[in-house]
Amino acid sequence: MPGRQLLMDFEVTPTSHTLEAYRARGGYATLEKALRTMQPVDVTKEVTASGLLGHGGAAFPVGRKWSVMKPGDDQPHYLCANADEGEPGTFKDRWILEHAPHLLVESMLIASYALDVRHSFVYIRGEFDLPWRRIQGAIDEAYAAGLLGAKLFDTGFMLDIVVYRGAGSYVCGEASGLITSIEGRKPYPRNRPPRLTVRGLYQKPTVINNVETLANVTGIIRDGAEAFRKVGTAKSPGTQLVSISGHIAKPGVYEVEYGYPWARFLDVDCGGLLHGAKLKCVIPGGISTKVLTRAEIEPLMLSHESVNPAGSSLGSGGMIAIAEGTCMVRLLQVLLRFYHHESCGQCTPCRDGMGWMHRIIDRIVAGKGVAEDIDRLYAISEANDGTTICGMGDAAGYATIGILNKYRDEFEHFITHGSSKCDGRLECLA
């Protein structure tokens, strides 16, 4: 793996997910350290000092989110681990759930201690089978060992964790949609403010972090914020789990130190593209992020301060490599089909706009497109930007505009000739 390993620092074996194997690696010693030697506010201060950023897509500073919570305010607090991971091309949280579930459990215990939480939730995508069995098994082991549901290490702290299985809705990966789903209601996202850290689950203060974000907490408290900051860059400390797929020779989950050369990651660590093909573009962090061409990524590092000025984002770490010969018109058709299917329907711009965009791209691929269709896709994308409760309408527009800006000629060719401009040597990602 490129970079220093912070999360994936052990050999994966058939039993590496078990409590016995985790404790053999020092598991739960950090929890004991936190409970015995640190006050809750000290844990939050250490996480803040580490500069840990959220790994779910927005890269929001974790310590800043936590600091809004006010322990001891005489009301229940909640912590939710977002394990929905519904962004196409993203599967790094699944790796943690399958191979290191106790790392998540210990980190949730430490985070709950800091945030004055007594009831936590793991919201997991309903289609996940092995990840669900592994995290539920880890929680069962923790209960049996007295690490959950009981006062720990002669302290007054105790915690319950519930695994809540969703039903496969993409919008449940949005924090407020996740909360309404746990509450047993239709998972419509909520308008904000108030922030979820003020009024979240059951209208009480709630912190929601994704799995990888929380998994970093144990290492930060174990080694200290200063040690964490020695890895990565000043503005992007630590590492990022990157799940890479598409036309890549060695797909999988990689832990990459922030600041690592992007081109080297693709060409050396991931083995380049299949069959020696040339790279056309990359979807950097899930399909909601704008594509970048080979020429654009050549000088970039894998860090937020490097990728963001280039017009895209590392997002959820779901990277998709796309080879020359891939039809970008058909690729956009796949993306818009997904967004149309997953729109919850609460907001008119998203509900109607997604359907409109899907019908337009279907018409183009069917050879019945007209020149005005390209401008219509732009117009709908821009109309959706900032007009929906959650970011789904925005995301579909970002993906669409990102592809149109760089490959408009392919759309014009398809409309003019009724067929793809690509040479057909490679299968489209459809």
Asked if 54 and 96 touch (Cβ cutoff 8 Å), the reply is no
SS3 track for 228-297: HHCCECCCCECEEEEEEEECECCCEEEEEECCEEHHHHHHHHCCCEHHHCCEEEEECCCCCCCCEEHHHH
Q: How far is 172 from 84, CA to CA, in rounded Å?
A: 7
> What is the model's pLDDT at position 8?
67
Q: Cα–Cα–Cα angle for 345, 350, 353, nearest 5°? A: 120
Look up residue 427 and give its two tokens: 């299968």
Q: How far is CA 123 from each of CA 37, 60, 304, 416, rounded to the nearest angstrom? A: 30, 20, 27, 47
> What is the model's pLDDT at position 6?
60
Give the tens place of pLDDT for each residue, 270-292: 999 999 999 999 999 999 999 99
Residues of the chain with pLDDT under 50: 1-5, 425-430
Please give the single-letter amino acid code of residue 318: G
Print burial letters for 375-395: b (CB count within 10 Å at least 16), e (below 16): eebbebbeebbeebbbbbbbb
> What is the model's pLDDT at position 423?
55
DSSP 126-163: TT-SHHHHHHHHHHHHHHHTTSSSS--TTSS---EEEE
Q: How far is 373 from 418, CA to CA, in rounded Å?
A: 13
Q: How far is CA 392 from each of CA 287, 345, 409, rounded to the nearest angstrom? A: 11, 11, 27
Give the tens place of pLDDT for each residue, 40-91: 999 999 999 999 999 998 899 999 999 999 988 999 999 999 999 988 999 9
Nearest one of 290, 310, 314, 285 to 299, comparing CA atoms: 310
48: three-class secondary structure by DSSP: helix
> What is the model's pLDDT at position 11?
82
Residue 197 is given by DSSP the state: T
Q: What is the dihedral of CA 207, 78, 37, 230, to 10 degrees?
A: -20
236 CB neighbour count, 10 Å cutoff: 22
Nearest one of 239, 267, 231, 209 to 81, comparing CA atoms: 209
Asked if 300 and 262 touch (Cβ cutoff 8 Å), the reply is yes
Q: How far is CA 37 from each of CA 33, 117, 150, rounded to the nearest angstrom? A: 6, 18, 19
Structural domains in the chain? 19-229 (3.40.50.11540), 242-323 (3.10.20.600), 328-417 (1.20.1440.230)
Give the tens place of pLDDT for each residue, 90-113: 999 999 999 999 999 999 999 999
Nearest one of 211, 255, 217 to 85, comparing CA atoms: 211
> What is the model's pLDDT at position 424?
52
Q: How far is 375 from 354, CA to CA, in rounded Å?
A: 15
